């Protein structure tokens, strides 16, 4: 990479150790997840038999380019493992995701899987979730004004995410994202429940007690943390 920071290829290679022939895999979204999809594509080209369920249109496009067979979540029903990145991981292996905008589909696919394996760089490790100051929340556009008021009442100041053209960013589901300003979150599970109780909210970036393993890349070194 131009800034001298190693890419996520080492963590992607380590993630392949979790994959077995014949499995159905959830394919996450973002830089680390894309590195895994590329590594998986090379294995598929060598004869590995797997099927994938993508969490975003971008991931689906990449998987098709690499000739990874794709199926729908409805056809898969239960997945063996989902591989995805994260924006924060705390010592309990709880996670914040959603900076890339695919949080709702990512959570649905992760919840449909026997295991969720997260790939991150060591800079994503935090003492408490919320350390980077942002929690994405996906909302139905019609309910955005209500969600804003209720999020403020919870101490989460919302800001509408904008696309490059200055218009509201739209998720693959056609919804908006409110990026909420947060500090260290003392009770992530409770905050997740409180936000989900707001009418019009479809999901938060809090993935609590979902990750079974986190692959951490530090330089070219890789460590696997297990729940």
Closest to 140 (Cα-Cα) out of 168, 174, 106, 107: 174
Greatest alpha-carbon pair distance for the chain in Å reads: 54
Q: Report the alpha-carbon distance of residue 201 to residue 169 in Å, rounded.
A: 16
Closest to 191 (Cα-Cα) out of 102, 109, 94, 123: 94
Label each residue of 46-92 as H, E or C: CCCCCEEEECCHHHHHHHHHCCCCECCHHHHCCEEEEEEECCEECCC
Task: With H, G, I as helix, E, B as strand and everything else as coil, classify residue 199.
Answer: coil
Q: Of residues 106, 114, 138, 157, which has the active-site annotation?
A: 106
Instruction: For residue 101, report the phi and psi dihedrals to the nearest 5 degrees.
Output: 95, 5
Closest to 205 (Cα-Cα) out of 161, 149, 145: 161
Task: With H, G, I as helix, E, B as strand and everything else as coil, classify residue 169.
Answer: coil
Contact between 206 and 94 under an 8 Å Cβ cutoff? The reply is yes
Provide the 10 A C-beta neighbour count for residue 148.
20
In the numeric block, the tokens 């190693």 are attached to 6
> Is 138 labeled as catalytic in the residue annotation?
no
Catalytically active residues are 106
């Amino acid at each position: 990479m131009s800034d001298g920071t190693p890419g996520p290829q080492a963590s992607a290679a380590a993630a392949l150790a979790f994959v077995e022939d014949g499995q159905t895999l959830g394919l996450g979204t973002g830089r680390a997840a894309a590195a895994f999809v590329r590594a998986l594509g090379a294995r598929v080209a060598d004869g590995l038999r797997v099927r994938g369920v993508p969490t975003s249109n971008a991931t689906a496009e990449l998987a098709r380019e690499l000739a990874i067979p794709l199926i729908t979540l409805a056809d898969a029903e239960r997945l063996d493992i989902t591989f995805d990145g994260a924006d924060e991981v705390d010592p309990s292996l709880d996670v914040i995701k959603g900076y890339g905008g695919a949080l709702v589909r990512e959570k649905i696919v992760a919840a449909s899987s026997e295991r969720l394996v997260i790939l991150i760089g060591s800079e994503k490790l935090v003492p408490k979730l919320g350390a980077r100051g942002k929690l994405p929340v996906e909302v139905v556009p019609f309910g955005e004004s209500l969600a804003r008021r209720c999020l403020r009442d919870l101490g989460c100041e919302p800001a509408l995410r904008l696309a490059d053209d200055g218009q509201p960013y739209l998720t693959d589901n056609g919804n908006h994202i409110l990026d909420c300003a947060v500090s260290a979150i003392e009770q992530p599970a409770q905050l997740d429940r409180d936000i989900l109780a707001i009418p019009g909210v479809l999901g938060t970036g809090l993935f609590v007690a979902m990750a079974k393993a986190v692959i951490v890349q530090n330089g070219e070194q890789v460590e696997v943390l297990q729940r």
